[in-house]
Amino acid sequence: MRPIGLLLLTALALCACSREQAASRDARGEAAEVRMPQITVTGDDSINAALNWQPPAVTLSAEQLPEARKRAAQALQEERLYAGADDAIPLFLAIRRLAPEDAGARAGLDRALDSLLRQGERALKRAEDRDDAAREAAQIAAVARAIDPNDDAVVAYLGRVDEVEQLSRLNQASERALREGRLGENGGGALAGFREVLKWKPGQPRARQGVAAVESDLIRRAEDAALAGDFDTAQIWLNHAARVREQAPTVADARQRVDGIRIGRIAALRESGVRDLASPLGLKGAREKLAEVLRIAEPGDPVAADFRLRIELATHYGLFRPGQAFTDAMTGGGRGPEMMVVPHGAFQMGAGEDELGAGDAEKPAHYVRFDRGFAMSRTPVTVGQYRRFVQATGYRPRATRRGHSIVYDERSGNFVRRSGVDWQSDYSGAPARADMPVLHVSVYDAEAYAEWLAQQTGHGYRLPSEAEFEYSVRAGTQGRYPWGNGQPPDDFGNLTGGNDVSPSGRHWNNAFVGYGDGYWGAAPVANFRANRWGLHDLGGNVSEWVADCWHASYRRAPADGAAWFNPGCRARVVRGASWASAPVQARAAWRSSSDSDMTNARVGFRVVRGI
């Protein structure tokens, strides 16, 4: 066959018309520049057979001519034109072979040809979408060519059949490529064939449907990739689909569906990962799911961000959140002390080289990091809380067994030993209210209470490490005092203030000038504002036991915030200012060594719990 471009250009230059119309155009000279189509021989025998129609055999004798004329006229009227031996064209051709000059047969054959071409036009209208109609049009072309290959109307019709045949073959080849998955997203394939058809025949329905099918297949591949979790490949297929038809709504809809698949997968992974976080052993699985979420999520995806935050929080806080307040149920009934979740982080522990009032025991300043948060009781343990422990266990604290402790004596203004004083007493030895911080307890008494809490709640209660205490005292600041530098702000806590007055009118000789908190002695817990992390009475009211053994400096101190403990040590660490501490002892880095059995009116304790 000739090249498709030449055939199509030729065919498009021609239009379907009757033999009379073609003849009138020739008379006016309007078709002088039209290139007539040519049918060339190819190696395709089916094409040769279609273009070389052989009429059915009709045998006539002279005596049968009148009857044959009637039968031909009847067949023409019924538009039975060429299929059988009793149809119009085979009969008219047989009549002309027997009587070449028969004018009636010639006129009848002309009318039959016109009718044949009209049938051909109807077939051509269907042929763009139906291969059977294309075959019918080609058969009619072969019949018309056999009748009069030089007739202008026949020549024009043959050109249109050639065009339709070429387009049909191109559509068929493109459809075969489509079925075989050769879409042509990168050139060639089904898409190139359909586009070639549309180039020569804009808007041709069959080719347009083919283009839409290519787009649909690309979209299907995108959705299959998305369902398999390969959203990068899905995006590639969608981008190919978007180039098939400009601004096609189907592609926009497909992007929404793929995004829906992505969102659904992210949500399912996050939900499963959150369930994993309910168990400490599930953190690894949750992190693996987060990695998958981050792989498929768009930048800034809020669900991915929330999942990442949950894992980060679980890594540092388990099932808790920084700043969260909670209490644990106790097997004996009731609940334990209110706890505050302290955020994980790092700080510079100890005093700087040039810090005023600092001693060698507070140095060297060193970096301590808490990779996981912890919970600290909001206040020091109260007399009421400690009473419950003593009553539940029958435990006899050190001062009770010993029969005395150190109290403040108002008459002399000194701290003195007094008999009959124990954990039930206040700073002066009088009975203590239930909401007062428990005093007159040794570090062993404090540890016994923490162990009882652990047994009652099933959680790891203990005394804070020295690092945990200072970290919580500073609460994110790094000044000389828990509040920063300079004078304490109003209502900071129970400190030795120049404006404080004892019941007998005494004043402190060494105090914060101009400061007064209204108390001489310990105050009820939580009577002053909490620090930034929601903890009360840190750095004031009572000094507190911590878990560490005493070391004369911080050389070789743990960097992870753990207690620096040596089994069997007798000297333990006390931290934090009390109601009777000098200003230099109110510094955030201040620490003191005390014998493990020591009890007095200035030292209490609080507990921490792992999370």
Poorest-confidence range of 16-30, 151-165, 470-484, 586-600?
Answer: 16-30
Q: How do residues 258-273 score in pLDDT, each as one tens digit?
A: 999 999 999 999 999 9
Q: At residue 12, does pLDDT exceed 80?
A: no
Contacts of 80 (CB under 8 A, 6+ apart): 86, 87, 88
How far is Cα 575 from Cα 593, in angstroms, rounded to an integer? 9
The pTM of the full predicted model, rounded to 2 decimals, is 0.67
Using CA atoms, how far residue 66 sits from 61, 62, 91, 104, 277, in Å, is: 10, 8, 11, 11, 102
Using CA atoms, how far residue 123 sits from 116, 117, 161, 364, 582, in Å, is: 10, 10, 10, 101, 111
How far is Cα 146 from Cα 568, in angstroms, rounded to an integer? 121
The single residue listed with the structure tokens 């008999």 is: 419
Could you state, in order of their start, the residue ranges of all structural domains in the chain? 4-179, 189-246, 262-317, 339-395+439-610
Average pLDDT, the chain: 90
How far is Cα 385 from Cα 435, in angstroms, rounded to an integer? 9
Q: In a 3-state reduction of DSSP, which class is residue 77?
A: helix
> Of 501, 510, 419, 463, which is closest to residue 606 (Cα–Cα)?
463
| CATH hierarchy code of domain 339-395+439-610 | 3.90.1580.10
Q: How do residues 109-127 score in pLDDT, each as one tens digit?
A: 999 999 999 999 999 988 8
Contacts of 144 (CB under 8 A, 6+ apart): 113, 116, 117, 120, 151, 154, 157, 158
Q: How do residues 331-369 score in pLDDT, each as one tens digit?
A: 999 999 999 999 999 999 999 999 999 999 999 999 999
Q: How do residues 310-334 score in pLDDT, each as one tens digit?
A: 999 999 998 899 999 999 999 999 9
Question: Is residue 565 a contact partner of residue 573, using CB atoms and an 8 Å limit?
Answer: no
- Please tell me the predicted confidence (pLDDT) of residue 281: 86
How many Cβ atoms are within 10 Å of 558's Cβ, its own excluded? 16
Question: Average of pLDDT values for 19-37?
Answer: 34
